[in-house]
Amino acid sequence: MSEPIRLGINGANGRMGRTLRALLQGDPRFELKTAINAPADWVKLPELDVMIDFSTPAGFDAALAHCVAHRVAFVSGTTGLDAMQRTALTEAARTIPVLHAANFSLGIAVLARLLREAAAALPDWDLEIVEAHHARKVDAPSGTALALGRAAAAARGQDFDAVAAFARHGHTGTRPGNAIGFSSIRAGEIVGEHTAMLATRDERIELTHRAYDNTIFARGALHAAAWLAGKPPGAYALDDVLAA
C-alpha cells in the first residue's frame, strides 16, 4: 500500500475546514499533517504533498506563497480573489500544480460544462444566472455564479467584464442583448443553489444545481487533492479531475 498523502489545511477552523477534518478521520488516502488557523501556524510547518485552502483572500496569499516556496501542490476554494491574486495563481502554476475552484461540487463542474456548450450553441439567447445562499454569506454574486458567467462568456468569445450586469434598479431601459445578468438571494440556511437561464422569444432552458449539505464541497476538494498530489506543475481545473 502506498504512503498516505501528507495534507495541510488552511482555514482549518472555518466551516469547510471543520468539515474536511471530520471527513479525514475515515479517509486512508491522507495523513493530516497540519491545520492552519492563524499566521503563527505557518512557522516550521512539516513537509507536505498538498495544501487545501478554504480561507480568506489574505489567508490565500500566505498559503500560496508557502506552497510555491516549498513546492507543495495547492488546492484552493477561497473566493473573493482580485485580479492580482488570479495572476499570482497563474504564475504559481509555472512551478507547482494548482487547482482553484469557486465550488468543489462535482455536480457544479458538470453544470459549468453544460452551460459552456449551451452558451456557445445559443449565442443570441439571453443569459441570466440566479444564485441563492444562506443569510450569513457576505459576498454577492457568489464565486460560483461568477465562475459560471465567465465560463459562458468565454464560450461565446465575450469579454466577461464588458457584458456582466450585476445591478438593476429604477428605469434601466431594455435589456442589452449580449448581457450576462446576475441575481442574488440571501435567506435562511440555503446551502447553495445556482440556475443558469437561457431564454429567447418562445423558449427557455434552465440548468439548475442545488446543494443540500456542505460536505459535498469538502468531498470534492479531497477528491481533487488526491488527484493533484504528484502532478507536474500547471493550472488544473475540476474538469481535469472529472476526465481522469
Residue ranges of the domains in the chain?
A: 5-104+215-243, 106-211
Q: Which CATH architecture best describes the domain 106-211?
A: 2-Layer Sandwich (3.30)
pLDDT tens readout for residues 29-74: 999 999 999 888 888 899 999 999 999 998 999 999 999 999 999 9
**What architecture (CATH level 2) is domain 5-104+215-243?**
3-Layer(aba) Sandwich (3.40)
Distance CA 224, CA 100 (A): 10
Cβ-proximal residues to 37 (8 Å cutoff; 6+ apart), any chain: 11, 12, 13, 17
Show the cell assigned to 42: 505557518
pTM of the model: 0.80
Coil, helix or strand at residue 109:
helix
Distance, in Å, from the CA atom of 222 to the CA atom of 24, rounded to the nearest integer, reads 9
Q: Which residues are catalytic?
A: 133, 137
pLDDT in tens, 158-181: 999 999 999 888 998 999 989 999
